[in-house]
Amino acid sequence: MEFGLSEINILQLFVLVFVPFFGGFIKGVTGFGFPMIMISGLGVVFDPELAVSFLLFALLVVNALQMFQFKMDLILKAFARYFRITVTLCLCLFVSAPLVLALSKSLLFLILGFPITVIALLQLRGWKMRLPENYQKPGEYIAGVIAGFGGGFAGVWAPLVVTYLLSLDIGKRENILAQGVIYSAGSVILIVAHFKTEVLNYQTIPMSLLLIVPSVLGLFFGIKVQNRLDSDRFRQCVQVILVIAGLNLIVRGLW
């Protein structure tokens, strides 16, 4: 996959600044949404494989910063609690990442998009989805498998993870921390996997590193907004972004 910084035009430059900033902002507010916005936004002016390669280092950094908002003892406790979903996601992510260049993604987008949209819309209308305690362990594995395969070959992992976390009825801070821990581990695996696929290479790495700057700036402003939200408002924001994420998947699946 060939790419040169000298080939960028004005429209592409605008997209390369605005999309990471906006993606970082939404992630700062809700804890997720960065890959969806990056791949959808950058995909307007770049090939899908380039969009994925540009995403990777910025994704790792914003996930790590989200996680390291919290003290190390809380991070370790979160990793212990969400160990199953984290490890399952990472394994499936690594196995499926090579498929990013080979498989049609339309069916997966539709399979994921419809239930995510319906569940989020129902929650916005007042339905409280709660996963009984005796189903949480298998639910964690199922969410990890689906999110891992979705993230590996389609760049879609957060909606499944967030839907699972919402079903646990945990508070805002634990939700943000859990997402940071799970996604940080997944980001490392994704980078390693895409070095092997050569989606990430010496031509695409410089741009991937440059996009860290607008992404982190957006994250900073998003966290400022998130700190002003109580748990109910935060949950509503997450549900709205889930609806948008689901609709985005449906559109990508149909087109």
Residue-range domain boundaries for the chain: 5-254
Alpha-carbon distance values, 59 to 37, 45, 55, 205, 214 (Å): 11, 19, 6, 13, 12
Residue with tokens 């949480």, as numbered in its chain: 136
CB atoms within 10 A of CB 178: 24
Question: Which of residues 215 and 5 earns the better pLDDT score?
Answer: 215
DSSP state of 70: S
Report the distance separating Cα 51 and Cα 139, nearest Å.
31
- pLDDT number for residue 159: 83
Tell me: the pLDDT tens digits for 73-124?
999 999 999 999 999 999 999 988 877 656 666 776 787 788 778 888 887 8
Q: In the Cβ-directed half-sphere of 177, how many Cα atoms lie within 13 Å?
A: 20
Please choose, from the candidates 177, 204, 173, the residue with its C-alpha nearest in 3D space to the C-alpha of residue 48.
204
Is residue 67 over pLDDT 70? yes
Question: Which of residues 57 and 158 earns the better pLDDT score?
Answer: 57
Report the distance separating Cα 222 and Cα 251, nearest Å.
26
Tell me: the pLDDT tens digits for 4-18?
566 788 999 999 999
Q: Considering the entire predicted model, what is its pTM?
A: 0.87
